[in-house]
Chains A and B, each alone.
Chain A
Amino acid sequence: MLQYVKVSIDGAIIRTPKGTSILDTAIEYGICIPHLCHVPNLSDIGACRLCVVEHIVNGRSNITTSCTLNAAEGMVVRTDTEKVRKLRRNLAELLVAQAPNSRAIQDIAVRCGVKDVRYPFRNENCVLCGRCVRACTELWKARAKGFVGRGKDRHVDYPFGTRPDFCKQCGACIQLCPMTITPCNGPMKPGEEHLCGNCESQLMISENAPGGCTWCKLGENFACGRYA
């Protein structure tokens, strides 16, 4: 028997099975919380931190990621306060400065209200969201790739750097990778990276309309309500 609990997200009282993450609950209900590393049916690791929300406990607000916060009776969560928007914008800015050559990340940056990138662009190929690693490990039980190294040297690789036999080249990792779709105007060359901002026209008034949707490329993979 499923146990249901009631949680309040942005003032809306939502009934949801106990233990569902706040992120899933909110998406199901149509409240869009930007997120990157979360994939339905995979475990949540809280790596990208984009889905931060304010969780209000006894009048004190805690900043935490909604993908790892499980719904409990009477939980009060705010997803669109000034504080959350600012933190989200700063995180998206860090991501887009690291990997501008991805439509998904450019979309997220626009969606989170990044107007200007204050750091030098880096043009990296991976933001270590870990979608590929978890899909390979959890969905296909192949464990053909994992994280290697620590801190700055952390990267995704095959065991000992060579493709093992148990990788069946199913391509699930490529499907889920946010880096595979380049920005609409094509890949940016090193030195020419910029904030794309093409999708901005699709936003209603990005700052004033909470939940403004860019029909972001990631939405397709997330089973976002708007694509259904």
Chain B
Amino acid sequence: MLRLNSYRELEHLREQLRQQRQVYKTTVMICGGTGCQASRSSSVIEAIRSELSKQGLTDSVRLCVTGCHGFCEQGPVMIIEPGNIFYCQVTPEDVFEIVFHTFVKGKVVERLLYKDMVSGKSYQMETEIPFYRAQDRQILSQNLNVDPCSVEDYIISGGYSALTKVLSGVSPEEIIKEIKSSGLRGRGGGGFPTGNKWSECREAPSAEKYVICNADEGDPGAYMDRCVLEGNPHLILEGMMIGAWAVGASKGYIYVRNEYPLAVKHSRIAVKQARELGLLGENILGSALSFDVEIARGGGAFVCGESTALMASVEGKVGEPRPKDVHTVVDGLYHKPTTLNNVETWANVPAIMLKGSSWFASKGTQGSKGTKILALTGRIKNTGLVEVAMGTPIRTVVFDIGGGAVDGKAIKAVQTGGPSGGCLPVDKFDLAIDFDILAEAGSMVGSGGMVVMDEGSCMVDVAKYFLTFLQDESCGKCVPCRLGIDRMLEIITDITEGRGRPEQIDLLEELADTISQTALCGLGKTAPNPVISTLRYFRSEYEAHINNKKCPAGVCKSLITYSIDPEKCTGCGICLRVCSRKAITGEKKEPHVIDTELCQKCGVCISECKFDAIKVA
């Protein structure tokens, strides 16, 4: 493809490509994101491709392998335009039917439509589905009609027009003013106002500056950055170009963890395409901006998501944070002023520049503007990526979009913001998703992970899980994080194994306070949050573990015993056969008993018992 030398050439190319696309009558958009690939979407894609060529439809049907659509629970998903027909859980065996009925005859295959589990109603169109209806998808919707490996797709859908607008007459100061008035705040976790960061970086005196995109997402259960980067890498590049122009940087890095192979691959392809088109390099589109981007792969350390550790890692050093008494916007990568933003923050930039700050600021609350992508996971019906306007109550996300708990259990809490966030109980579900409101409640929006827990989750065990994660991922440089978390885990392990003492709760609180005030980096400072928030809202569970030596949720193995309800037991003998410890005895047709000495509490008998006769207390 030819190098573009001016804005007019880009517009011309866009028009040309649009005309070329008009020959296609039908477009099928199938998700090729990591989530759907795990549900075998690649074999579905292959099957469609071969079926289309077999039926001779390659000239009229366009197959577009896109990034994540969001509804990962129902994967692989596809959308067929025109008609906005939504098929879910498609298998290679269904492909013939889809091609023959939908593409050739224009009929809908009822069997593959999304069916609501509660009402039993089928939905034909994607936009009608309750999961999508309650969302406000500004960034994720751009994933739908763009093949991440095709810069043409991005240009056709209006890509790089924000860049041309900016380069053809918006001064860097005006960009920063626009970003400031939009109220955009960092989506990576801290919620720092992006405009302020940019203006500080612009004002820092240095000839050389850097911009970095932080795609080192490592929170358990969170994957929105991955989906945006692997689904629409050119959007990130465009955002970074605008940022580079605003702060005066000439070099950018995308720091992406190597565990995201698709994101690494797609961003590499995107950078290569952009270089070929002259969208990266010297004098981009004939303007004064010279900018290039490199992909830096991370080894997958959680701590490398912290700004100074990330920069050390890009420099090729050990990924460890350093004291931040001088901010990275002044002294960052290679000791030069550096603007580091999260993937989602960069993704918001082009739309703000194109549609204006007032459009962005019209969504959201007083302190938090725009939309936020949340990764909804856990004991919930519709898991997946959800994008809602800031200020949406947690209840709407969990119940209206998420569809409530699985197996008819009651929802107990939601963990927001990953290991740095906290657990909020169900009576706090009316709180809005807003940086300040959630921080006040002891949790945080964070990167946007949302793990829903039902009554079968023990909150002490949840705190233990996060502490184990943090202990593994702590870099070990400073004392409070390395030794403090270790001691907290020691205490919590004592509590879950029945050795807890009442004064240990106070010690936990004091230790948590010490760590949060003295740790070296942001991750260490927020590391005690899972313990602080569970102590705040679920103190009674801690007390039950310590005083009564009981785990109310029946999770902590040392504090529970299994028994068989003689009323319900029919003596079928299934549990007797599956128990590997031979702890269950009894005659046929007579109620069985469990020898608690031998019982390992593995739970196999519970899952096998058809009569719900095994009790945990």
State in angstroms the CA–CA spacing of A193 and B483 once bound together.
Answer: 18
Most buried by A among B303, B484, B514, B519: B514
Is the beta-carbon distance between B473 and A151 smaller than 8 angstroms?
Answer: yes
B204 in contact (CB, < 8 A):
no
Nearest CB in chain A: distance from B479 CB, A? 5
Is the beta-carbon distance between B477 and A47 smaller than 8 angstroms?
Answer: yes
At the interface with chain A, which of B111-119, B123-131, B317-325, B579-587? B317-325
Number of A-B contacts (CB under 8 A): 88
Nearest CB in chain B: distance from A228 CB, A? 28
Residue in B471, B484, B520 whose CB lies within 8 Å of A94: B484
Is the beta-carbon distance between B301 and A70 smaller than 8 angstroms?
Answer: no
- Which residues does chain A contribute within 8 Å of B323, judged by CB atoms? 44-46, 64-65, 68
A87-B514, A94-B483, A95-B483 are known contacts. Are A128 and B476 too (CB-CB below 8 A)?
yes
Which residue of B is nearest A146, CB measured?
Answer: B318
Is the beta-carbon distance between B518 and A150 smaller than 8 angstroms?
Answer: no
Which residue of A is nearest B476, CB measured?
Answer: A154
Nearest CB in chain A: distance from B257 CB, A? 15
List residues 225-284 of chain B with CB under 8 A from any CB of chain A: none
Contact with B along A92-134 (1 / 0, CB 8 A): 0011011000000000000000000011100000011000000
- Which residues does chain A contribute within 8 Å of B482, judged by CB atoms? 128, 151-152, 154
Nearest CB in chain A: distance from B514 CB, A? 4
- Which residues does chain A contribute within 8 Å of B412, judged by CB atoms? none
List residues 439-497 of chain B with CB under 8 A from any CB of chain A: 471-480, 482-484, 486-487, 490
Is the beta-carbon distance between A49 and B480 smaller than 8 angstroms?
Answer: yes
A140 in contact (CB, < 8 A):
no
Is the beta-carbon distance between B477 and A45 smaller than 8 angstroms?
Answer: yes
Contact with A along B318-352 (1 / 0, CB 8 A): 10001101000000000000000000000000000
State in angstroms the CA–CA spacing of A94 and B511 once bound together.
Answer: 10
A63 in contact (CB, < 8 A):
yes
Contact with A along B495-527 (1 / 0, CB 8 A): 000000000000100110010011110000000
Main secondary structure of the interface of B (DSSP, over half): helix
- Which residues does chain A contribute within 8 Å of B301, judged by CB atoms? 150
- Which residues does chain A contribute within 8 Å of B474, judged by CB atoms? 150-152
Nearest CB in chain A: distance from B396 CB, A? 35
Which residue of A is nearest B521, CB measured?
Answer: A46
A147 in contact (CB, < 8 A):
yes
Nearest CB in chain A: distance from B522 CB, A? 13
- Which residues does chain B contribute within 8 Å of A49, judged by CB atoms? 478-480, 518-520
Is the beta-carbon distance between A95 and B479 smaller than 8 angstroms?
Answer: yes
Residue in B303, B471, B507, B510 whose CB lies within 8 Å of A152: B471
Chain B interface residue bracket vs A: 20 to 34
Nearest CB in chain B: distance from A65 CB, A? 7
List residues 288-308 of chain B with CB under 8 A from any CB of chain A: 301, 303
Residue in A47, A63, A64, A153 whose CB lies within 8 Å of B478: A47
Most buried by A among B474, B483, B490: B483
State in angstroms the CA–CA spacing of A153 and B473 once bound together.
Answer: 11
A65-B323, A68-B325 are known contacts. Are A91 and B507 too (CB-CB below 8 A)?
no
Which residue of B is nearest A50, CB measured?
Answer: B479
Is the beta-carbon distance between B476 and A90 smaller than 8 angstroms?
Answer: no
State in angstroms the CA–CA spacing of A95 and B479 once bound together.
Answer: 8
- Which residues does chain A contribute within 8 Å of B519, judged by CB atoms? 49
A69 in contact (CB, < 8 A):
yes
- Which residues does chain A contribute within 8 Å of B475, judged by CB atoms? 150-151, 154
State in angstroms the CA–CA spacing of A127 and B510 once bound together.
Answer: 22
A136 in contact (CB, < 8 A):
no
A173 in contact (CB, < 8 A):
no
A48 in contact (CB, < 8 A):
yes
State in angstroms the CA–CA spacing of A63 and B519 once bound together.
Answer: 10
Which residue of A is nearest B491, CB measured?
Answer: A119
Nearest CB in chain A: distance from B315 CB, A? 16
A161 in contact (CB, < 8 A):
no
Is the beta-carbon distance between B514 and A91 smaller than 8 angstroms?
Answer: yes
State in angstroms the CA–CA spacing of A44 and B323 once bound together.
Answer: 9
Which residue of A is nearest B303, CB measured?
Answer: A150
A46-B323, A90-B510, A150-B301 are known contacts. Are A98 and B517 too (CB-CB below 8 A)?
no
Is the beta-carbon distance between A127 and B471 smaller than 8 angstroms?
Answer: no
- Which residues does chain A contribute within 8 Å of B478, judged by CB atoms? 46-49
A49-B518, A98-B483, A151-B482 are known contacts. Are A90 and B511 too (CB-CB below 8 A)?
yes
Most buried by A among B475, B476, B511: B476
Nearest CB in chain B: distance from A152 CB, A? 6
Is the beta-carbon distance between A64 and B510 smaller than 8 angstroms?
Answer: no
State in angstroms the CA–CA spacing of A90 and B480 once bound together.
Answer: 9
A59 in contact (CB, < 8 A):
no
Is the beta-carbon distance between B479 and A52 smaller than 8 angstroms?
Answer: no
Residue in B472, B477, B487, B518 whose CB lies within 8 Å of A87: B518
State in angstroms the CA–CA spacing of A86 and B520 once bound together.
Answer: 17
Is the beta-carbon distance between A52 and B518 smaller than 8 angstroms?
Answer: yes
Most buried by B among A97, A128, A153: A128
- Which residues does chain A contribute within 8 Å of B322, judged by CB atoms? 45-46
State in angstroms the CA–CA spacing of A80 and B484 once bound together.
Answer: 22
Contact with B along A33-61 (1 / 0, CB 8 A): 00000000000111111101000000000
State in angstroms the CA–CA spacing of A149 and B474 once bound together.
Answer: 11
State in angstroms the CA–CA spacing of A70 and B324 once bound together.
Answer: 11
State in angstroms the CA–CA spacing of A48 and B484 once bound together.
Answer: 12
A63-B517, A91-B514 are known contacts. Are A119 and B479 too (CB-CB below 8 A)?
no
Is the beta-carbon distance between B487 and A64 smaller than 8 angstroms?
Answer: no
- Which residues does chain A contribute within 8 Å of B479, judged by CB atoms? 47-50, 91, 94-95, 127
Q: Which 6 A-B pairs have the closest CB atoms?
A: A154-B476, A68-B323, A90-B514, A151-B474, A94-B483, A46-B323
Known: A45-B477, A47-B477, A69-B325. 8 other contacts (CB 8 A): A46-B520, A65-B323, A68-B323, A90-B510, A91-B518, A150-B475, A151-B476, A154-B475
Q: Which residues on A are within 8 Å of B, measured CB to CB?
A: 44-50, 52, 63-65, 68-70, 86-87, 90-91, 94-95, 97-98, 118-120, 127-128, 147, 149-154
Q: Which residues on B are within 8 Å of A, measured CB to CB?
A: 301, 303, 318, 322-323, 325, 471-480, 482-484, 486-487, 490, 507, 510-511, 514, 517-520
Can you report 6 residue pairs joining A to B where beta carbons are below 8 Å apart? A46-B520, A49-B480, A63-B517, A68-B323, A94-B483, A154-B476
